[in-house]
Every structure is written in structure tokens, then in C-alpha cells.
């Protein structure tokens, strides 16, 4: 409210001159007496409140119709006068002739006589209803937004899964379950540190692969990490990441579940299956080792009787020993507990070669050939060599078990659309629909000495590598397993 100069010119003349401006003003206006009655109104006032314009000339009934507004104006006017003020604004609801209530802002000016005494009020009526509508809608939206934010926050805080938000690899937020996961007392211990401090070194390759995908806005598949909690305890977590906007910048929300216990159980099962497998292979291996031993023995005898050594004998003995070493090493590798996991880029072809070397020992006993059809270039994937070996040992062993007669198991590897495809095709007895259905169920076996764990483990390993496995089988003709694993650029490509 500001103090201003009143009108000092002879008022009647003044208003005569102002009359057209008053009448045709775009905003509703009225002259109101000091004791609160309408003296004059303009056409915009009629329009605003829905009165026909001929009422401009007979306005006495308006005093009754708007008595509450006039009372409010009179009271407000008195406050103005007692504060020596000439103008101010007040808000009042006013009823439109059609019935609806309008929210009106009234700008009230005190008009003075020449001698400085108050004469009457000039009031301008501004319809705030549309604004009120917008304002209340904005307020409602703000409340809704706050509620939503609050609910999300509550959801994150109460969630039993660990949630963390990272920006450019730096932790911005961790929920209570996340703090428990990494044994932090409160969030100040983790906010601001890079995720690579929490994720174990052995998973840094996987982590940076993921960052690259994130930067290229590619969809991020679910992932397993080995993490180090703040007190050094190691845990396995499984999770997924979403890309969101956090404080105006792109960020990643990771949701993780502690799978350490589950992993330990799987590991335990895997180990017992490996030992069973090693036991089953041992017979074949003993047989396989006997042959080179026999020939070494023979050459030694020859060398002793001829009293002179021949280079050729040494070469043969050496290569036979190498073969024994190879087989024994593979057997040991198979039965060795996994211990540390090291995901790194590996070429799948040497892995297949090594597995086939080991399995040929066994298959030869049954007159089964194992053939490998290789692609022209290497197939690089990210994974753990020993686990992948186990996948193919399981598949080849099952293929061999299914074959009652001599035949061939064909392994072929090729690159598909961003993935490595490996087929293992046997000529065995095949599977019924019901058997296919139950495949992967723990302890499902049709064999007297079977464990029914092999395929489940195979599936788990492939899943942990972000891949998939499919089966096609025709009874009495054979079965084909197709393993798909996501490919990664070869290390040379990465360096280039």
C-alpha cells in the first residue's frame, strides 16, 4: 500500500473528463461512497459479474446484492484512512449472476476533496478466479510431487534389497540395506567413493564393460559382482542397473541382492559334481595313461639293451610324457575347488580344445569320435575358464552317456549376432518331451550312477555369464545343445 497524492482539481470537472475512461475501461470499476453504497459502475463491472449493461443506470439494488463486499470495502477503507493511506488491495469472493463464485481482487483508492477530506472510493475489480485455479493446480501438483518423492524415498529406505545411485562411477546415495551389505555404519562412509573401491579387482573388467555400455546408453543386462565390504569381507551380489536422471544429470541406480550363501551352496554342489565326474573319468584316464607308460617302458628297455641312446627314443618318450602330463593336469584342474573367481576376456576355442583333449580319453573307450568345427577367428567372451570348461565337460559327458554305440559328437563354434554360439550334437538316444521339461531340475537323472546335477550347474554357469542354453532332441536320433554367450571385442581390438 503506498501513500499518494489525492485529487486536487475541482472534482466534478475532473470526473466529467474522466467519465469516458471510466465507462470504457477494460477492468471493472465502481465509485463507492464512504458509507458503502455504489455511486457509479462501468460496463466492464457489469460484464464481470454478469449483469446486463442497462443496470448501469439503476444500481440501487446492487447495494443489497453485494452488501458483504461493500461492508468489507468500508472496513478496509477505514483502516486505510486511519493509517493515512490512499490505496490498498483486498480479496473478496463475489457471486456472478449465473451463480458461480468469483475470487475478486479489489484495488481500492481513496478520493479526496480539495480541502483534503475524503470524498469516496474508486474501486477496481480484478477477476483472480482463473489464476486461483492454476495456482491451486500448481500447488496440488507440487504436493503430489513431494508425496511421490517421499514415497520413493520411503520405498528405497525400507527395501530389503541394496540400492545405490552412482554418477560417473561415484556413489551418491546408498539405502540402509546397501549400508548393511557393505558393513557401513552410515552413508557418510560410502558417499563420494568410487564403486570400483567396493567391487573386487577381479570384477573391474566387467565393471568397465558396463560403464562403456552405460555411456552408449545401451540396455544393461543383470550382472554378478564380487564385492569387498568395508571390513574386508567378500560377498557375491546379483543385480541390475537402471539409467535415471538424478539432480539433473544421468545417473545409474543399481539394485543388488546378496547371493553369497546361494553361491556357496552352488559351489558346494558344483564341487561334489566335479568330484563325481572326475571319479567317473578316472577309469578312462587310467586306461589312457597305461598306453604311453607301456610304450615308455618298451623304449627304456630298448635303450638299455642297445646300450646307446637314440634321439628318436627320447623324442617319443618326451611326447608320451607330455601327453600324460596334459591329461593329469586337466583331471586335476577339473577336481580343484574354484576358490577365487576371475572374470576376464577369454578365447573360447582353446577352452574347447582342452576339454575335448580330456574327453577324448573317455570317448575313445566307447568308440566315440569328438569333432570340433572351428570358426575362422577367435571367439572372445568375458568369463571364467574353469567354469566354462565344466559346462562343456558336462555337455560332452551327457552326450557320451546317451550313445550306446560308436558314433560322433560334433562340437561347432561360430559367432552370431554379438554372441558366440557353441553347438554340441550327439547321436544318442535323445530325450522325450517330459525329459526335456525336467532337464535342469536338481537330482533329475535317468542314469543308475547319475547325480542329476550336471545340467543344473551348466545352466547356472551360463546364466552367470549372461548367456543362454537351448536344447533340441529327437528320440533315437540325438540331441543338440546350443550355448549362447555374449561376445566381447578381442584384447587386440580393445587396444587398437
Which residues contribute to the site for ligand ADP (CB under 6 A)? 394, 398-399, 402, 426, 428, 430-431, 435, 439, 444-447, 450-456, 479
Residues numbered 419-478 forming contacts with Mg ion, rule: CB under 5 A: 454
CA pair distance 368, 366, nearest whole angstrom: 5
Binder of residue 452, out of Mg ion, ligand ADP, none (CB less than 5 to 8 A by kind): ligand ADP
Of 309 and 446, nearer to ligand ADP (C-beta) is: 446
The site partner of 239 among Mg ion, ligand ADP, none (C-beta below 5 to 8 Å per kind) is: none
Q: Closest CB to ligand ADP among 59 and 457?
A: 457
Indicate which of ligand ADP, Mg ion, none lies near residue 461 (CB less than 5 to 8 Å, by partner kind): none
Residue 426's binding partner among Mg ion, ligand ADP, none (Cβ under 5 to 8 angstroms by kind) is: ligand ADP
390 neighbors 458 (Cβ within 8 angstroms): yes
- Would you say 195 or 451 has its CB closer to Mg ion? 451
Q: 255 vs 483, which CB is nearer to ligand ADP?
A: 483
Least CB distance from residue 335 to ligand ADP, whole Å? 16
Smallest distance, ligand ADP to C-beta of residue 471, A: 8
The partner in contact with residue 428, picked from Mg ion, ligand ADP, none with C-beta cut-offs of 5 to 8 angstroms by kind, is: ligand ADP
Pairing of strands 407-415, 368-373: parallel
Residue bearing cell 577352452: 351
Nearer to ligand ADP, 91 or 441 (CB): 441
Please choose which of ligand ADP, Mg ion, none residue 431 contacts, taking the beta carbon within 5 to 8 angstroms, the exact cut-off set by kind: ligand ADP
Give the distance from CA 398 to its chain's centroid: 37
What is the nearest approach in angstroms of ligand ADP to the Cβ of residue 398?
Answer: 3
Other Cβ atoms within 10 Å of 140 Cβ, number: 10
Q: Smallest gap, in angstroms, from Cβ of residue 371 to Mg ion?
A: 21
Q: Residue 15 binds what, of Mg ion, ligand ADP, none (CB under 5 to 8 Å, by partner type)?
A: none
The minimum distance between CB 413 and ligand ADP, in angstroms, equals: 18
Comparing CB distances to ligand ADP, the nearer of 67 and 272 is 272
Query: Could you say which of ligand ADP, Mg ion, none residue 444 binds, taking C-beta under 5 to 8 angstroms by partner kind?
Result: ligand ADP
Q: Exposure of 205 by Cβ count < 10 A (0-12 exposed, 13-18 middle, 19+ buried)?
A: middle
Q: What dihedral do alpha carbons 187, 192, 194, 200 form, nearest 10°?
A: -20
Contacted entry of Mg ion, ligand ADP, none for residue 95, CB cut-off 5 to 8 Å set by kind: none
Q: How far is CA 408 from CA 348, 368, 392, 425, 479, in A?
A: 21, 5, 16, 8, 12
The nearer residue to Mg ion, 454 or 478, going by C-beta atoms, is 454
Q: How far is the CB of 285 from ligand ADP (least distance, A)?
A: 19
Annotate each residue in 369-408 with x if it binds Mg ion (CB under 5 A) or - if it does not, as one string: -----------------------------x----------
Residues 468, 404: Cα–Cα separation, whole Å: 28
Name the binder of 447 from Mg ion, ligand ADP, none, CB < 5-8 A by kind: ligand ADP
CA atoms within 13 Å, Cβ hemisphere of 182: 29
Closest separation between CB of residue 267 and ligand ADP, Å?
A: 17
Distance CA 368, CA 192 (A): 59
- Point out the residue whose Cβ comes nearest to Mg ion: 454
CB of 454 to Mg ion, least distance (A): 3
Q: How far is the CB of 362 from Mg ion (least distance, A)?
A: 13
Asked if 473 and 437 count as a contact pair (C-beta separation under 8 A), the reply is no
For the bound state, the minimum distance from the C-beta of residue 395 to ligand ADP, rounded and expressed in Å, comes to 7
- Say how far apart CA 361 and CA 393 lie, in whole Å: 12
Smallest separation (angstroms) from ligand ADP to the CB of 320: 32
> Residue 415: which of Mg ion, ligand ADP, none does it interact with, CB under 5 to 8 A by kind?
none
Q: Closer to ligand ADP at the Cβ: 108 or 439?
A: 439
Nearer to Mg ion, 209 or 472 (CB): 472
Question: What's phi and psi for 254, nearest 5 deg?
Answer: -110, 135
Closest CB to ligand ADP among 176 and 450?
450
**Nearer to ligand ADP (CB atom), residue 120 or residue 425:** 425
* Minimum separation from the CB atom of position 326 to Mg ion (A): 23
Q: What angle do CA 378, 381, 386 make, to 5 degrees?
A: 100
222 versus 432: smaller Cβ distance to ligand ADP: 432
Residues at the interface with Mg ion (CB under 5 A): 398, 454
Amino acid at each position: 500500500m503506498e501513500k499518494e497524492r489525492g485529487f486536487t482539481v475541482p472534482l466534478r470537472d475532473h470526473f466529467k473528463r474522466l467519465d469516458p475512461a471510466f465507462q470504457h475501461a477494460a477492468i471493472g470499476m465502481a465509485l463507492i461512497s464512504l458509507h458503502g453504497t455504489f455511486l457509479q459502475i462501468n460496463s466492464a463491472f457489469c460484464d464481470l459479474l454478469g449483469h446486463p449493461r442497462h443496470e448501469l443506470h439503476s444500481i440501487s439494488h446492487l447495494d443489497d446484492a453485494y452488501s458483504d463486499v461493500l461492508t468489507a470495502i468500508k472496513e478496509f477503507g477505514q483502516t486505510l484512512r486511519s493509517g493515512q493511506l490512499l490505496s490498498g488491495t483486498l480479496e473478496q469472493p463475489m457471486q456472478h449472476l449465473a451463480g458461480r463464485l468469483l475470487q475478486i481482487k479489489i484495488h481500492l483508492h481513496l478520493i479526496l476533496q480539495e480541502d483534503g477530506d475524503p470524498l469516496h472510493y474508486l474501486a477496481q475489480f480484478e477477476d483472480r478466479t482463473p489464476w486461483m485455479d492454476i495456482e491451486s493446480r500448481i500447488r496440488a501438483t507440487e504436493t503430489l510431487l513431494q508425496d511421490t518423492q517421499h514415497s520413493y524415498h520411503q520405498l528405497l529406505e525400507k527395501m530389503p534389497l541394496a540400492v545405490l545411485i552412482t554418477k560417473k562411477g561415484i556413489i551418491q546415495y546408498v539405502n540402509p540395506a546397501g549400508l548393511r551389505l557393505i558393513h557401513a555404519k552410515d552413508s557418510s562412509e560410502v558417499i563420494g567413493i568410487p564403486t570400483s573401491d567396493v567391487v573386487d579387482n577381479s570384477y573391474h573388467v566387467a565393471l568397465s564393460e558396463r560403464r562403456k555400455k552405460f555411456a552408449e546408453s545401451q540396455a544393461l543386462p543383470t550382472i554378478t559382482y564380487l564385492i569387498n565390504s568395508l571390513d574386508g569381507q567378500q560377498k557375491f551380489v546379483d543385480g541390475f542397473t537402471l539409467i535415471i536422471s538424478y539432480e539433473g544429470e544421468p545417473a545409474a541406480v543399481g539394485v543388488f541382492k546378496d547371493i553369497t550363501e546361494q553361491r556357496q551352496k552352488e559351489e558346494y554342489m558344483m564341487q561334489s559334481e566335479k568330484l563325481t565326474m572326475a571319479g567317473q573319468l578316472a577309469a578312462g584316464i587310467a586306461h589312457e595313461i597305461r598306453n604311453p607308460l607301456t610304450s615308455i617302458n618298451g623304449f627304456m628297455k630298448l635303450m638299455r639293451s642297445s646300450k646307446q641312446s637314440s634321439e628318436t627314443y627320447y623324442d617319443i618318450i618326451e611326447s608320451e610324457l607330455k601327453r600324460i602330463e596334459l591329461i593329469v593336469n586337466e583331471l586335476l584342474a577339473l577336481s580343484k575347488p574354484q576358490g577365487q573367481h576371475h572374470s576376464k576376456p577369454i578365447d573360447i576355442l582353446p577352452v574347447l580344445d582342452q576339454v575335448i583333449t580330456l574327453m577324448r580319453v573317455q570317448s575313445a573307450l566307447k568308440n566315440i569320435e569328438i569333432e570340433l568345427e572351428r570358426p575362422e577367428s577367435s571367439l572372445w567372451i568375458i568369463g571364467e575358464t574353469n567354469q566354462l570348461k565344466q559346462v562343456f565337460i558336462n555337455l560332452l559327458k551327457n552326450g557320451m552317456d546317451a550313445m550306446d554305440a560308436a558314433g560322433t559328437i560334433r562340437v561347432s563354434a561360430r559367432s552370431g549376432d554379438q554372441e558366440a554360439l557353441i553347438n554340441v550334437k550327439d547321436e544318442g538316444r535323445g530325450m522325450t518331451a517330459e525329459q526335456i521339461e525336467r532337464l535342469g531340475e536338481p537330482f533329475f537323472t535317468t542314469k543308475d550312477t547319475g547325480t542329476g546335477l550336471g545340467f543344473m550347474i551348466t545352466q547356472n554357469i551360463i546364466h552367470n555369464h549372461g548367456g543362454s542354453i537351448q536344447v533340441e532332441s529327437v528320440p533315437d536320433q540325438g540331441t543338440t545343445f546350443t550355448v549362447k554367450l555374449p561376445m566381447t571385442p578381442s584384447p587386440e581390438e580393445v587396444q587398437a
